[in-house]
Amino acid sequence: MGDTIISTVEQKLIEGQAIEAIRGCYDPEIPVNIYDLGLVYDVAVNETGEVSVTMTLTSPHCPAAQSLPRDVEQRVKLVPGVTGVTVKVVWDPAWNPSMMSEAAKLELGF
């Protein structure tokens, strides 16, 4: 019994819903979701519904270093059609404020 293959349309739908789920994650020290902060570099969905999230943190010493990736994983797992989630935290490129969305910059006064 093999894995069910999903269409690229379904993959894009899951990707969009995963991003919306990630927008529910906040760095406890910053009142903007981590997606709009620019901490999520990539969200990819493969043909079997597995989601891979590549993200960073504002700093290697971030107090939420353990909890944020786990929160992302838990939220994305709840998206219909997701069969598995891998969250990879990377430090290159290093995050900087220019990576924030325009909405996040406005909210934080940049």
The pLDDT value recorded for residue 1 is: 45
What dihedral do alpha carbons 100, 103, 105, 107 form, nearest 10°? -130
Could you tell me the pTM of the whole model?
A: 0.91
Q: Indicate the number of domains in the chain.
A: 1
Would residue 59 count as lying in a domain?
yes
Full residue range of the structural domain in which residue 74 is found? 8-108
Q: Is the pLDDT of residue 40 over 60?
A: yes
The pLDDT confidence band at residue 62, using thresholds 50, 70 and 90, is confident
Would residue 1 count as lying in a domain?
no
CATH no. for residue 63?
A: 3.30.300.130
Would residue 53 count as lying in a domain?
yes
Would residue 80 count as lying in a domain?
yes
Would residue 44 count as lying in a domain?
yes
The pLDDT confidence band at residue 2, using thresholds 50, 70 and 90, is low
Radius of gyration of the chain (CA): 14
Q: Which of 40-54, 78-92, 93-107 has the lowest mean pLDDT?
A: 93-107
